[in-house]
Structure 1
Amino acid sequence: MPHQDSAPAPAGTASAPDSRIDARTRRGRLQMLLLLLVCASPVIASYLTFYVFKPAGGATNYGALIDPQRPMPAVRVANERAEAVPLESFRGKWLLVTADPSACDEACAKKLFTIRQIRAGQGQDRERIVPVWLITDQGAVDERLSAAYNEPYAGVRFLRIPPDVARQWLPAAEGGRIEDTIFLVDPLGNLMMRFPKDPDPKKMSGDLKKLLRVSRIG
């Protein structure tokens, strides 16, 4: 009997090998999407706690939520050893951020005290928090401030940043200044929350405790 070639696949119909490749590609994309969701879920949960799941009668948060989110700027900052490092290298932790010039006045020192104490008050979770002073000029910092608040003992990072970059990233409250404010940045590098001028440390700590409880990232 003469040999007969297999009939070609109808136009527009994928062959069996192509179908298997397409199926593997779709499965691989789905697995990647699921992996990304798993990695991001702790931070998603923390946002849901504040944005969605609110009891009847009002919001659950003390700080003002930043909407839309503001990602960290792609900028290099000078650390305590005058080394230029990417600001993004501080991702992975919850950041309590203040911004002031090097001539830190009484209000500035009070904010440094507040963010240091809030970190210390989180108990075993304190290592998940990094207080940051963004210094917006090149002046010398009083050695007493370094001794009281800076690394390695007190845990506050002193980082120098261009003032225009700080103001573009950190939104002041209406009618206020960024120097009046303490900000909270999530472990993905997104600016999440702004606290009022002369904030209540207990209420700030309450917001942070809630976030640390629902999110294990950082």
Structure 2
Amino acid sequence: MNPTYKPAPAQRRRGRLQLLLIFAVVIGPMLLASAMYRFGFWVPETRTYDGALVATGQGRDALGINAPVGAEPRWELLVTAPDGCAEDCQQLVYLARQINIGLAREAGRASHAIASAQPLAADYAQRLQREYPQLQRYSLDPNVYGANPDLPDGAQLWIVDPHGNLVLRYDSKANGKAILDDLKYLLKISQIG
């Protein structure tokens, strides 16, 4: 004769409770994360970058800039001046160069450029030629730039990835240290350029 084991009702309840706890520990976090994503609660509002994120997949061509083909792919600090390069634009050009220098040993992974819709003043163009020999110069099509309603007026500083995609945007009042920190972080996590 083979005796069958029948657990006491208290042991059954404890076993069921243990099984429910295991399911709660395994499935509960997944359900909570899905609900947080779907309904947007308890989602942190902080961010690790200072500029305005350009997450639309736009490239330089959305700004009306035709960059030369065949250039070495690098991260780029691009200053756009749709209304000509006035004082705020000149300050951003200076800031872009200082940020590039501030990258220290990573400076070879980045470059700086200016794209202006109007020709630069002769004295400023000569000064750029003399003091900023590595500054790349692009032309900016004001019709393309003006046709994009998402683009702000005035001079802007853009961080562009090695594929030519716009990543972050800063206005003329941006903090150079914050831009440098953003670019260093991008270079650190980047697998390109």
2:52 to 60, 64, 78: 64
1:106 to 80, 84, 87: 87
* Corresponding residue of 1:194: 169
Tell me if structure 2 keeps the 8 A contact 1:70–1:169.
no
* Distance across 1 between alignment mates of 2:148 and 2:77: 14
Report the CA distance shift for 1:87/1:188 in structure 2 as closer, same or farther (over 3 A). same
* Corresponding residue of 2:123: 143
Q: RMSD of the alignment, in Å?
A: 3.0
Larger Rg: 2
* Distance across 1 between alignment mates of 2:55 and 2:87: 30
Pairwise CA distance, 1:200:
0.2
So what's the TM-score if we normalise by structure 2? 0.65
User: Which sections of structure 1, spanning at least 5 residues, go unmatched?
Assistant: 1-54, 78-85
Residue by residue over 1:167-206, the C-alpha shift from the partner in whole angstroms, topping out at 9 and shown as x without a partner, is 457943xxx41x2321111111111111134100000000
Report the CA distance shift for 1:90/1:199 in structure 2 as closer, same or farther (over 3 A). farther
Report the CA distance shift for 1:146/1:134 in structure 2 as closer, same or farther (over 3 A). same
Residue by residue over 1:94-145, the C-alpha shift from the partner in whole angstroms, topping out at 9 and shown as x without a partner, is 11111226852211111111101000110111121121110102x3533344
Tell me if structure 2 keeps the 8 A contact 1:111–1:182.
yes
Report the CA distance shift for 1:130/1:159 in structure 2 as closer, same or farther (over 3 A). same
What code does the residue aligned with 2:57 have?
A: Q
Report the CA distance shift for 1:171/1:194 in structure 2 as closer, same or farther (over 3 A). farther
* Distance across 2 between alignment mates of 1:168 and 1:66: 17
Report the CA distance shift for 1:92/1:212 in structure 2 as closer, same or farther (over 3 A). same
* Corresponding residue of 1:94: 75
SS of 1:96's partner is strand
Matched, 1:125 2:98: no
Report the CA distance shift for 1:66/1:171 in structure 2 as closer, same or farther (over 3 A). same
So what's the TM-score if we normalise by structure 1? 0.58
Superposed counterparts of 1:137-216, under 5 Å: 137=118, 139-147=119-127, 149-150=128-129, 153-168=132-147, 171-172=150-151, 176-177=152-153, 179-216=154-191
SS of 1:67's partner is coil
Superposed counterparts of 1:14-53, under 5 Å: none
* Corresponding residue of 2:61: 73
Tell me if structure 1 keeps the 8 A contact 2:100–2:107.
yes
* Distance across 1 between alignment mates of 2:147 and 2:73: 22
